[in-house]
Amino acid sequence: MQRLQNQLLNQQMSFLPEPKYQLRYPVKGTMAAKALRLLLTGAKVTHPTFEAATGSWRLAAHVYILKKLGWPVMKELQPIPHRLDEGRRRNHDLYYLPADCIEMIQKPVY
Residue 98 scores a pLDDT above 60: yes
Residues 94, 75: contact at Cβ < 8 Å?
yes
pLDDT band, very low/low/confident/very high, at 27 (cuts 50, 70, 90): very high
Enter the pTM of the model: 0.76
CA distances, 59 to each of 23, 26, 37, 73, 77 (Å): 19, 14, 13, 12, 14
pLDDT digits (tens, 9 = 90+) for 32-65: 999 999 999 999 999 999 999 999 989 999 999 9
Q: What percent of the chain has pLDDT over 70?
A: 82
